[in-house]
Amino acid sequence: MQAIVDAVANGQIPAQVAAVISNRPDAKGLQRAADASIETAVIDHKHYADREECDRALIERIDQYQPDLIVLAGFMRILSDDFIDHFADRIINIHPSLLPKYKGLHPHQRALDAGDKEHGASVHFVNKELDSGAVVLQTRLAILADDDADSLAARTLQQEHIIYPLAIQWYAEGRLECRDDIVLFDNKILTRPIIWQDQHIQF
Active site (catalytic) residues: 95
- List the 188-189 sheet strands across, edge first: 176-179, 182-185, 188-189
Q: Which long-range contacts (CB under 8 A, 24 or more apart) does 194-203 make?
A: 194/136, 194/137, 194/138, 195/137, 195/138, 195/139, 195/140, 196/137, 196/138, 196/139, 196/140, 196/159, 196/162, 196/163, 196/166, 197/139, 197/140, 197/141
Are the C-beta atoms of residues 92 and 168 closer than 8 Å to each other? yes
C-alpha span between 129 and 135 (Å, rounded): 13
